[in-house]
Structures are given as C-alpha cells and as structure tokens.
C-alpha cells in the first residue's frame, strides 16, 4: 500500500477523437447582451479559444513534458495520489511540497519546477513534490466524504515521509493555500515552515472605522468577489454534483467555466492570453477533461469551503502578496494569525496564479522566504 509507483501518461487517441467530435457537435448559445465579460465568458472569445483547442492545440506535447518531469502514484489512506517529483542534483536542496488550487493543477508549476530543482544561478535548490489534490487530475476520486483540507494536509505529510523527507517546507495558493495553512495549523511532522500567495485574513470591527489604503483595497476586492465573482463557489460548495454533469459531459461547457476565471483572476489587459498562453491554459484544461474531474474537483468546495477562514499558524510563515489577488489580505490582518511571520513580499504585478503568471518573481520570493526558515 505504501509503494511509490511510476506513472506514465499515454492517453488513447480515441479519447482525443472523442473530444474533437464533442467540440464539433457543440450547440452554442446566443451571444451575450452586453459588450464585456459581466455575463460570463463572451461567445466570440470562447469560440475562438475552442477553435484553437480543436484545430491547433497539441496534447502530446504536454503529455511528453509531464512524463519527462517524473510522475508517480502512491496510495494514501485508501486513495491514489498522483504527484510530480523532481529531485534536485544539489546536496543541500530543501524538500518542498507545492499545492495547486481550482481551477488550476500541477500545470501551474511547470514554469518553475526545473529552476527550483536546479537553479542556473546557483541559488537555493529544492526537491520539488507537486501532488494533485484528491478528485483532481489523475489522483483518485474520493468515494465518500471526509477528504477536506485537514486530511489532505496530513496526507501530504505522509507523502513527504514516504519519499524520505524528514524536514521540509510547504507552499500554496487558492486551495493550495488552505491545504498549506492546514499543514501549519496541524504542525504536520517534518514541516518547518510555509509560504502562501493567498493568505486568509479578515477585518475586525475596529479596522472598518478608519481603514488604511491597503485595507480599503482589500475591502473593495472582498465586496466585488461576493457580489460578482462568487457564483461558481456557491454552486460548487452547495451542488457540486449538479454542476458536474455539464462539466464532465461538455468540453465547451468546461472551457467556458474555467476560461472565465483565467480572465477574472489574472493580471491581464483585458484577455486571459495577456497573462497565460493558450497552450498553458489548455494543458490545464485537459487535466480536468481527460480524467473527467468536473464533479470530483468541485466537491472539495462542498467538503471544505469553511477552511477559507483566519486560523493561527504556529510555524514560521512567509507571504507573497500579488496586486491582482482575488482575496487580498493586508499585512495587518495577516499578522494576527501568523505570530511567526518571517517574510512579507509586496509584488509589483501578478494575480491569483502566482507561479504560473510570474515565475521569476515567484522563484525569487520562495528562495528569500525559505532562506529565513532553514
């Protein structure tokens, strides 16, 4: 049960052909009645994106890249966990577990993994472990309840121990932030500190009386999220099975659901492609389409949405604050929960998908942050 098994992707061509056929048979809705994204993904933008997916995108390129990095499976608490594992050639490398979120995947880290493991500039190196969350990508889909972020955090501790790492650090944003925070709260054995690019904090009543500029910005972002951007999370935390039927059956439905978040959550000039390449977004989308995880990934919201709440972390914590984060937390709010806050990096650009959007800034932040915990 504790065996580490190599995992190689070899998607049958019949699955690619089926995807193409489903795209060809799409029944499109009429155009939105506005000239912006306020009603969701615009028809013309999605048709253009999907046309690229159908006629130009090459899945085999992504498949080869994932296989080349090193993919593995291991069973933890009765569930198969898929993960990337890239060992550094450097003797002083620090083991690091990185956790993605929704609607992301391990694809978020593809631009930083090799530089983390074997930095060209001779900086701090890391042994990189990037698991796929339960119900996401090629990890197993829980058949019962209970796989919330606390259990996932403990599972990551078991994974690191199984790989032989007795002293390690953890990093995450979005659901990865919730899991990484849970690792810190539970003081999972072996973890010496964490880094977050979406820390969770909330204002106290006195903060609302005379808020500072960064607090005003955060309050405005929270209100925007609640009023205009939280419909997906309400659906996924209350009815993940209902929304899952469409996401599993229709590639265009899945693309419209996720492509909109690439627009709303990145630091862009009006188009998702300003922040992320189409190939990168489609690589990520394929990790939802091929294993049919539209329902199982949404179910994490049902299991654990309450985890996005302030919690005290007794371990050393580092934070990188990106300006277009969807739920920004001012340092003042974060310090209440992180008594050992060792680093706070205020970034000049970037959004919710930190490593994906701004790999160089992200790399520099991790090296500086974890140098203060070693």
Instruction: Name the DSSP letter for residue 324.
Output: B
Catalytic-labelled residue, pool 100, 127, 195, 352: 352
Instruction: Check the CA dihedral 303-309-312-316 and report its sign.
Output: positive
**C-alpha distances in Å from residue 336, one per residue of 204, 291, 330, 340:** 10, 40, 11, 10
Among 85, 195, 301, 343, the one annotated catalytic: 301
Identify the CA nearest to 78 among candidates 134, 11, 13, 14. 134
Q: Is 352 a catalytic residue?
A: yes
**174 assigned to active site:** yes
Cβ atoms 134, 105 nearer than 8 A: no
Which one from 165, 174, 195, 288 is the annotated catalytic residue?
Answer: 174
Which of 307, 338, 299 lies closest to 321, judged by CA? Answer: 338
274 counts as catalytic: no
Between CA 77 and CA 226, with CA 195 as vertex, the angle to 5 degrees is: 85
Round the CA-based radius of gyration of the chain to a whole number and report it. 20
Find the helix or strand (DSSP H, E) in which 138 lies.
none
Residue positions annotated with a catalytic role? 174, 301, 352
């Amino acid at each position: 049960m504790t065996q580490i098994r190599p995992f190689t992707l070899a998607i049958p061509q019949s699955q690619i052909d089926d995807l193409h056929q489903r795209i060809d048979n799409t029944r499109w809705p009429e155009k939105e009645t506005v000239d912006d994204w306020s009603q969701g993904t615009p028809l013309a933008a999605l048709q253009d994106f999907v046309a690229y997916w159908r006629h130009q995108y090459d899945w085999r390129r992504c498949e080869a890249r994932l296989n080349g990095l090193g993919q593995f499976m291991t069973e933890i608490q009765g569930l198969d966990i898929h993960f990337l594992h890239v060992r550094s050639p450097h003797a002083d490398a620090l083991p690091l577990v990185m956790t993605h979120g929704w609607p992301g995947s391990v694809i978020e880290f593809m631009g930083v993994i090799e530089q983390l493991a074997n930095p060209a500039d001779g900086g701090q190196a890391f042994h990189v472990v990037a698991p796929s969350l339960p119900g996401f990508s090629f990890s197993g889909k829980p058949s019962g309840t209970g796989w919330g972020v606390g259990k996932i955090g403990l599972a990551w501790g078991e994974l690191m121990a199984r790989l032989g790492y007795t002293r390690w650090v953890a990093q995450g944003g979005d659901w990865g932030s919730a899991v990484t925070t849970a690792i810190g709260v539970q003081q999972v054995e072996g973890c010496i500190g964490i880094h977050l690019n979406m820390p969770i904090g909330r204002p106290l009543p006195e903060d609302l009386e005379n808020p500072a500029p960064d607090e005003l910005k955060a309050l405005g972002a929270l209100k925007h999220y609640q009023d205009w951007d939280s419909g997906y999370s309400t659906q996924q935390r209350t009815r993940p099975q209902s929304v899952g039927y469409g996401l599993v059956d229709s590639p265009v439905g899945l693309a419209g659901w996720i492509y909109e978040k690439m627009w709303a959550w990145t630091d862009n000039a009006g188009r998702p492609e300003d922040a992320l390449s189409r190939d990168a977004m489609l690589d990520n989308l394929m990790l939802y389409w091929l294993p049919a995880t539209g329902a199982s990934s949404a179910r994490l919201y049902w299991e654990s949405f309450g985890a996005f709440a302030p919690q005290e972390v007794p371990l050393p914590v580092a934070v990188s604050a990106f300006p277009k984060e969807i739920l920004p937390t001012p340092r003042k709010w974060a310090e209440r929960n992180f008594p050992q806050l060792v680093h706070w990096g205020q970034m000049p650009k970037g959004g919710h998908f930190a490593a994906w959007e701004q790999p160089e800034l992200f790399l520099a932040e991790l090296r500086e942050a974890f140098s203060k915990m070693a």
